[in-house]
Structure 1
């Protein structure tokens, strides 16, 4: 992840070019560009800064709205149960990170540093948990290790032994969080291990270094920043996750479930704000550490580097196949168990086939409406979010002047990366539900759900857009200006086509994450706008486990289909874009 914008940025197109033709924006001169940048800053402030300020303010008020000072914080840290939740969250996050990062490093090493067959299939299976809501991981563990689980009953008495674990509590949460964070760490470590300078390995070999020493002195130093990034991501995601603790947490309280209990269960809004602030602090610290690490990162690959050469080694490949096979089998077992449970009549007593679990009329979901609402919300999030994020990134990258405004906007654009979804959702309650807020009409509508999702997932698509724009040759803008071509025409004929793969990646990212998220919307949905991810939580609470599994499967299937369509479409698009770029 980049830590800051480039010092040298290209000018935006002018409102009127030299021959008087209209453009999308002026090249940094005059009031139109000021208005555009101020609009961007005002939008980010209204969608992010003001809600967070309202959340901070609420923590210093009592339940009647009077000033309480630090009394709420004193009450929080004076309550042994609440402090215990903080300690539990730290324990879960530390254990999750300690397990997920080494597992992900091992698979990333198999993919990047061995020549085994079937890497694409292995990588696809490793990323499968990304397309499912975190509650699905908890449901899978319930069907495997619950009171009537496959392993805890010895496959219903078929095996001569039973494998039981203390699922409902710390152990279940940690396993669920490992499943959740493993793909994220795997992607980061694949990026780190995917590039290497083979000259360093040749030099180490010429000095008589063995395999372990080369690994310790060459491989690990080259990927240390990727490792640190994976550690930060795993810790932050597991620290702030709500779905897994809600399903398999039992009586083991963590901060995410404490917020839910304070706000929904006890209607104690000030204490909910206090817990939200406590939940956000470690995430903000991790975000600051990640920014610092990114600034200090050095390039281990230069223009003179030689690509890493994978040498044949049967023993290494055999070990790689075993390791990758175990990871793939674990993912398939978890996913397949939920899929199986969604199409049987009564787990584990009647395993005959049925589609009745996909009829949510009699379940707590109340019908198929929540799934349709989630699809609609995700589509709006993908379309509106992609347009807004790409346009804001374009303004930040292409305007020369007003550096302070652009840097402020850039900081606000990457800040959501550090904010838990629960904190964003809670802050939106305080801000948009305030009667004096002119935007109060958004509360309880589909629009606020879309806005919360865009803000929650803003940072990654923003960095994707800025990276794509920075890679674009500045000669396109220079030639357009020299030929008096409208900047608006340049934007739609040059910038957008060249950025189309990145734009589609942004849209898919927003859609998939909006479908699976629960934390950012758990406080915001209206009575007539229930969502699929929230319905899974409600059905699990009501004991409708099979319909909850069915809803999870629907979400996962839709996300996999969307991703597959994206991959199929962009493979051809990338070839056409590359050919078009050569011609131009």
Structure 2
């Protein structure tokens, strides 16, 4: 009897929850995008001009050159980063080198730093007064000027930025392989190159495609690196910044924003298609890949890993060192003066505390909202069309660069006729922009965890008259806790390092650490900018270490519980 009564209530609750999720995503994703798109077809006075803004853009050499520059930067970055990431991932999954744990940790270090930090590190190494440019201030017999400020600097910074993402994708692809294919190739007398071309690369082709599109999109839309080391070499991301902040030309900013979103949308669509075409590389009959002893191979990949890891550590160490140097390069005494931000353009230590507040609130609110949205879409049995709309809106932010989100929010929330106008210029619009910017990855993480739950939980709860809320708190949340922790730390770290999503939205009296780094760099306060970057990295590493500690505790408790159950049985 209870089951019969509970079911309709549960269905009604699911309907209201789905409506709330779709309405919230529409207001925070869809409507701002529509507003942005429409602005690109109007002039400064609000008159409809059709395609005139686009014609103006492409007929202005200085502006259209930015598109060519961006395509060049993204293509070079993708080719180099994916090649290096493939070699690095192959070394850690298919060779017998030592120190794999160390190399993995180093490969992920750039994820903890704002992209401006990579540019700052390159400035200290290859800038006009850089260590390499001056031959370590004349101590070495050679000097090397790479002409940093321009395409070279941007490409180097973007490679560091996108390398971890490419490595993670390719490492997952290379980790799974059927060793029987390699045994068959050996039987047929295939050499190493032949096996690479006919077995290895076809087996990871979808991973390579995904890595290429991720790298291309990230470098195409990045703002931090071009801002620091771009010099006079303009790209689309800096063009938007100049149009909106420098010239207050909002319509041209919207036009460039639309151009910025096209490659991201193409990459998003292709990635979805690639994902659907992927098939199981490992079946029940497959044999686990076996690493054979090969000294020359291991020596080669050790050199590769040492080279890549050494460069990443060099960049990190350079920024840390520079933050403690009195006056680079004239007074090399150690000092903490650059950690006193009171006399520089960054406006003191307050932006760091602001960033911590925003990051914590983004992590808590973002995780809660994302997990509930994923639960509603994954577990609801009502209104299939609405569920599909919710899923589409949930993964749509994957195709939206942070600059586009920030620009769309200006048009949407700065409209006095909008009931949500009160959010504009407040702390909450920064949090909302961050949550939406990183929503898709959190949503996919939550959905993956929820798919692992046996549907019998819901069926048993319904037959016993247990409400959905009780089932949610007693079963769903505890089982999915590892994924929830990952979502928390993901939101926190990205909210600390992001600049593109918030650079248009912060209030004058509430700056963030990433924004202060840009302001300090603009003012020539490079060492304090390096110091602020170091503080961000330290906080993010602490957050990651804390998440790992909690996850380890949860795994131990789960294992102990399972052991106790086994003993009772």
Give the TM interval when normalised to the shorter protein: over 0.9
* Residues 14 and 382 in structure 2, CA contact (< 8 A), matched pair in contact too: no
Task: Find out whether 1:482 has 2:482 as its counterpart.
Answer: no
Map Cα deviations across residues 79-105 of structure 1 (whole Å, 9 max, x no partner).
111110000000000000010000000
Q: Which residue of 1 aligns with 2:339?
A: 358
Of the candidates 302, 312, 322, which is equivalent to residue 341 of structure 1?
Answer: 322
Give the RMSD, CA atoms, in angstroms: 1.5
* Residues 498 and 577 in structure 1, CA contact (< 8 A), matched pair in contact too: no
Task: Find out whether 1:197 has 2:201 as its counterpart.
Answer: no
Aligned equivalents of 2:220 and 2:461: distance in 1?
49
What SS does the aligned partner of 1:18 have? helix
Task: Find out whether 1:128 has 2:109 as its counterpart.
Answer: yes
What SS does the aligned partner of 1:342 have? helix
Of the candidates 209, 215, 223, which is equivalent to residue 204 of structure 2?
Answer: 223
Q: Which residue of 2 aligns with 1:470?
A: 451
Map Cα deviations across residues 312-339 of structure 1 (whole Å, 9 max, x no partner).
2222212221111111110110000000
* Residues 497 and 577 in structure 1, CA contact (< 8 A), matched pair in contact too: no
Task: Find out whether 1:302 has 2:287 as its counterpart.
Answer: no
Task: Find out whether 1:100 has 2:81 as its counterpart.
Answer: yes
Aligned equivalents of 2:490 and 2:214: distance in 1?
17
Matches within 5 A, 1:121-520: 121-520=102-501
Q: CA deviation at 1:20?
A: 6.1
4+ residue stretches of structure 1 with deviation over 3 A? 577-584
Q: Which residue of 2 aligns with 1:79?
A: 60
Higher helix share: 2
Aligned equivalents of 1:149 and 1:246: distance in 2?
18
Task: Find out whether 1:542 has 2:510 as its counterpart.
Answer: no
TM-score, normalising length from structure 1? 0.94
Q: CA deviation at 1:197?
A: 1.2
Map Cα deviations across residues 199-236 of structure 1 (whole Å, 9 max, x no partner).
21122222222222222111111100000000000000
What SS does the aligned partner of 1:518 have? coil
Structure 2: gaps (5+ residues): none
Aligned equivalents of 1:60 and 1:320: distance in 2?
53
Aligned equivalents of 1:91 and 1:273: distance in 2?
22
Matches within 5 A, 1:511-530: 511-530=492-511
Q: CA deviation at 1:492?
A: 1.2
Aligned equivalents of 2:128 and 2:2: distance in 1?
72
What SS does the aligned partner of 1:300 have? coil
Map Cα deviations across residues 222-272 of structure 1 (whole Å, 9 max, x no partner).
100000000000000000000000000000000000000000000000000
* Residues 268 and 398 in structure 2, CA contact (< 8 A), matched pair in contact too: yes
What SS does the aligned partner of 2:332 have? strand
What SS does the aligned partner of 1:160 have? coil
Aligned equivalents of 1:64 and 1:484: distance in 2?
61
**Pair 50,581 (structure 1): closer, same or farther in 2 beyond 3 Å:** farther
Of the candidates 44, 50, 54, which is equivalent to residue 31 of structure 2?
Answer: 50
What SS does the aligned partner of 1:351 have? strand
Q: Which residue of 2 aligns with 1:4?
A: none
What SS does the aligned partner of 2:45 have? coil
Aligned equivalents of 1:450 and 1:26: distance in 2?
33
Map Cα deviations across residues 279-315 of structure 1 (whole Å, 9 max, x no partner).
1011111111111111111211112222111112222
Q: CA deviation at 1:464?
A: 0.4
Q: CA deviation at 1:418?
A: 0.7
Map Cα deviations across residues 161-204 of structure 1 (whole Å, 9 max, x no partner).
00111100011101110010011100000010011111211222
Q: Which residue of 1 aligns with 2:3?
A: 18
Matches within 5 A, 1:565-576: 565-576=546-557
* Residues 92 and 170 in structure 1, CA contact (< 8 A), matched pair in contact too: yes
What SS does the aligned partner of 1:306 have? coil
TM-score, normalising length from structure 2? 0.97
* Residues 239 and 256 in structure 2, CA contact (< 8 A), matched pair in contact too: yes
Task: Find out whether 1:40 has 2:21 as its counterpart.
Answer: yes
Q: CA deviation at 1:19?
A: 7.9
* Residues 17 and 486 in structure 1, CA contact (< 8 A), matched pair in contact too: no
**Pair 101,26 (structure 1): closer, same or farther in 2 beyond 3 Å:** farther
Aligned equivalents of 2:245 and 2:143: distance in 1?
38
Q: Give aligned pairs, total.
A: 565
* Residues 221 and 237 in structure 2, CA contact (< 8 A), matched pair in contact too: yes
* Residues 56 and 273 in structure 1, CA contact (< 8 A), matched pair in contact too: yes
What SS does the aligned partner of 2:248 have? coil
Aligned equivalents of 2:511 and 2:2: distance in 1?
49
Structure 1: gaps (5+ residues): 1-15
Aligned equivalents of 2:562 and 2:415: distance in 1?
51
Aligned equivalents of 2:134 and 2:548: distance in 1?
41
Map Cα deviations across residues 414-462 of structure 1 (whole Å, 9 max, x no partner).
1100111000000000000001011000001110000000000111110
Q: Which residue of 2 aligns with 1:63?
A: 44
Aligned equivalents of 2:535 and 2:239: distance in 1?
29
Aligned equivalents of 2:254 and 2:387: distance in 1?
30
Q: CA deviation at 1:579?
A: 5.2
